[in-house]
Structure formats: C-alpha cells, structure tokens
Chains A and B, each alone.
Chain A
Amino acid sequence: MFGLPWSTTLLVFGAPLAWILYTLGFLVVTRHWEREEDEP
C-alpha cells in the first residue's frame, strides 16, 4: 500500500491501530472511575 513493502505498511498502520485499540479498551475498563470517585 502507498508503494511500501508489506512490513513497513504493517508498522505504519499497525502501530496506530494497536494504540487506538488500547485506548478504547482503557476507556471501557475505566468507565466507572468518575462515578465511584464521587461516591461518599
């Protein structure tokens, strides 16, 4: 893709994708944080 070897394409697109998935996972796993912090 874009004239790049497959391994470079994997690095260029795979790394951002991996971090996007990590961030989404973090948001899902921690969705209760604000609520539980506000509880007395």
Chain B
Amino acid sequence: MNPTVLVFLVLYFVIVLGIGVWAMRRGAGENLEGFLLGGRTVGPLVTALTLQSTSMSGYMFLGAGALSFTQGYWALWYAAGDLGGGVLNLSLIGRRMRKLSQILGALTCIEYLERRYPSPATRLIAAGLTVFLLSFYVLAQFIAGGKGMALVTGLSYPVALFIAVAIIITYTFLGGYLAVAYTDFFQSLVMVVGVLWILAASIAHLGGLTSANQAVAALDPSLLSVWGKDLAHRGQWGVVLGAVLVFSIGYMGWPHVVTRHMAMRRPATARMAGAYATLWNLLFVPAPYIVGILAIAILPQLDDPELAIFRVSQALLPPAVMGVVMAAIMAAIMSTADPLLLQTGSVASRDLYERFVNPGASERQMVLVSRGLVLAIGLVGYVVAIVQPPAVFDVVIFATSVLGSAFTPAFVCAVWWKKANTPGAIVSMLAGAVASVGWQLAELADRTTVHPMAAGILASSAAMVVVSLLTAQSAPVPPHILRAVEEAARVGPIPNAAR
C-alpha cells in the first residue's frame, strides 16, 4: 500500500476519533437528551450535512457506480429523487417534528411515535421493526467498511473489519449524537471533495463530457438512454416511480434520518438546513453515478462493477489524491454506520429496555445502557460480518425499502393529519412492512414492473387513511394530542419549552 494513502487514512481516523473525544468533553454523555439528541443544540449546516451523509451510505461509492456502470443513464432516476430527499424531508416534517417531539417530551423517534399514537403496541411494533432492520443495515455498513479497508490497506478482511468497526464504535460510544453529527459533518465534506476529484479527473481523461458520452455510445448506445441497457426498462413507469421515491420521500420513513429533526436547535432550523441540503446534494449526488457511466469508457473490461469508482480512482489519480478518495469512501460508509449504531442502541435501550423491562431506570443508568448496547450491537455485528457476511447491497435495498414503506405515512401524518390515530398508524406500519417484504420475496417487481418501495408506500398510506377513518369513533385521537399537533403546525415559540 502506498504510504501517502496510508497517511491520509490515518489522519482521517485521528480526526473522527478526536471529534468523539471533543463531544464527550462537551458533556454529550451527561444526560439522556445530551447523549441521544446532542441536547437539541445542532444548527442548520450541521443538521443538513449529518442528515445527508447519514442518508448516503457506502452505497453511493459502490452501489451507485455499479448501477450506472451496468445500466448507464437509467441510474440517474435514483439520483433525480435523491437530489431533493433532504429538502423534502426538512420542508415537510422538519420544523413540525422538532416542535411536536419537544411538546410531547420524546427523545427517540419511536418514543415520539408512541406519544403521538398512544399505545404500547405502537412502540413495540415500531421499535421491533427498527431494531431488526437497522441491525441489518449496520451489518451491511460494517461489511462495506471492512471490505473498503481491506481493499485500500491490503490487510486481511477480519483485521480491516476490526479496525473499521472499532473506530466507529469508539466515537459513537464516547460522544453519542453530538459526536455522530459532527463527524458526519466532517465526513460529508470529505465525501464531496473525494467524489468531485474523481469526476473531474474522469471527464478530463476522456476529453470532456461530450467525448465521454460518444465513447460510451460507441460501446452501447442504449446506455445513454433513460431506459437502461438494451432499453430493458422502457415504459416501466412503476419501476421509475419507485426509483425516484426510494431516496426522496423514502427518507421520511427512516428512523435514523428523521431523528436529525428532533436534535435541531430550534424548529426554524429546518429552513436553512433545507437549503444547505440541496446545495450539498447538487454537488455530491450526481457525481458517483456519472463516474460509473464514464467508467464504461475508461475501464470497459472491469469485472466487478461495484469497484468501478475505486478502479477509476486507481487508474487516474496520484497517490495523495487517492488517499483523499479512500478517506471519502470510508467517510460515506462510517457516516451511515454511526447513526445506525446509535439509533439501534437508543431504541433498544429507551423504547424496549426502559419502556418494558426497567421503567424506573435513572438517566445515568440509561446512558450506560445505551452505551452498553452500542458496544453489544457493534460486537454482534462484527461477529456476524466475520462468520457469514451477506451481500451488502441486497441488505441495504431490502432494509431501506421496508423502513420507508413502514414508517413514512406514520411520520408524515403525525404532523399533517390530525385524524391519523393509533389503529391507523399500527396497521399502516404493519401493512407497509409486509407489502414491501412480500413484494421483494415474491419478486413481484419484475412481473408487475412496480418497485417494492412504491408497493409498500401505497399499502401503508392506504392503510393509514382507511383504518383511521373507520376507527375515528371507536379510537379518537386524544384531545391533548390534537392540541399538540395544532401547536406544532403553528409557527411560533414552543410552549413551556426549556429553550
């Protein structure tokens, strides 16, 4: 391994660990709100970038490049939704969720759902789904991190995995949400620099974008179309809709992403955070997809499409820049793994342990339990990743589609539809999860040309509306919740708020 690349990687790891120690010294672990939400002190820029880097995992450097390398410009349907995922999330539910979560006294997004849709069943189902799916997602990020480290350093997979997992667990364990948010902020900047550098080098290498597209067309003109290789997706609008939805409105159903709203300094933080999110997305999102397309012309004989971006970097960049790019790839993976780990630990401690096992736990005990669970989940993830690693991106697509399908209507209706009630939310979560899982297991996407995400969202949204209306008399929304939702809708100071 080139020593320059190693220096950049070590420097990167030292910085993220330093942020973890800084967050701990700033008092992130002194009480539960500090550990889980950074004391609700996060400003718009950090909110936007932690939201975006959390949403964009190692998928952007491995999966996105692979998709566009094999399907050409068709892959940009995913980017088309992804570009607006942040601002859509912040504009639709950001301000209201920040306000409502504080009015209802919720510290995790699952606790928030239970306070809005009061029933132990809400929490049990939501927490169960979250812990189960996020554990899979954490596992996928660990494996991607281990493989990335092994590829870069030349170390064996178990050793590389150990280093990657140990660093993620350490700073999450030390600094909680604040460490996660600020490392995400730093990592999002590294990601942008890294990917834009590869993009610029690729375009320059091919003599400009027009020449690059002509070179791709010379190999296969269908790769320039919006319908995929050999026009395989021509007219499949159900698949196109799902591709756009999964990374746009789908984010509103991801618990580890919407938690960012609850940690904002104030509800209005969502406004500028939305602008920063769009700006960052415009710089970052299209680049990996376009590099994947250019790789068709640069490396036509590439055997593993998932390595398209990595191999292009190796072929075109000097070692020092390669070090930045490798740090960017690790940043993408780690900035998703850390909030997943924290979220899974938070939900397991607050929403399962404290709610159902030890309701009398003190704040200090709960921070200890949260930290212990972060460590335990990390260690179990490491063991599974060593013993039987599943295919990374199958797991990512599975987990994110089910999360989005199950939770999007519950989070959106919580602040926008006063008639959304407990039975509606419970049936909606179950219907979305079952429809999305069933769609994927039965491989209905190919037969129906409808994406699992589209099917899942349709099922959960219909269930929310129909069941809420049918049970409006028998299970009315409690008056104090109606008042809280009305207050959250109003733009103004948070009543009886500490800040």
Q: Is B154 an interface residue (CB 8 A)?
A: no
Q: A5-B224, A8-B225, A12-B73 are in contact. Are A27 and B275 (CB under 8 A)?
A: yes
CB contact list, A1-40 vs B, under 8 A:
2-5, 7-8, 11-12, 15-16, 18-20, 22-23, 26-27, 30, 32-34, 36-40
CA distance in complex: A32, B430 (Å): 38
B83 touches A15 (CB 8 A): yes
Q: Which residues of B contact A16 (CB under 8 A)?
A: 83, 282, 286
Q: B213 contacts which of A3, A11, A22, A26 (Cβ < 8 Å)?
A: A3
Q: Which residues of B contact A11 (CB under 8 A)?
A: 73, 76-77, 80, 226
A40 touches B493 (CB 8 A): yes
Q: Which residues of B contact A3 (CB under 8 A)?
A: 209-211, 213-214, 217, 224
Dominant secondary structure of chain B at its interface with chain A: helix
Q: B73 contacts which of A4, A18, A27, A32 (Cβ < 8 Å)?
A: A4
Query: Which of B265-273, B298-306, B367-375 has 4 or more CB atoms under 8 Å from chain A?
Result: B265-273
Q: Which residues of B contact A19 (CB under 8 A)?
A: 83-84, 87, 278, 281-282
Q: How many positions in chain B have a CB within 8 Å of any CB in the partner chain? A: 33
CA distance in complex: A18, B80 (Å): 9
Q: A20-B282, A23-B274 are in contact. Are A33 and B268 (CB under 8 A)?
A: yes
B275 touches A37 (CB 8 A): no
A15 touches B268 (CB 8 A): no
Q: Is B457 an interface residue (CB 8 A)?
A: no
Q: Closest residue of chain B to A38, judged by CB? A: B493
Q: Which residues of A contact B76 (CB under 8 A)?
A: 8, 11-12, 15
Q: Which residues of B contact A34 (CB under 8 A)?
A: 268, 271
Nearest first, the 9 A-B pairs at minimum CB distance are A3-B213, A15-B80, A19-B84, A33-B268, A23-B278, A3-B210, A36-B491, A2-B209, A26-B91
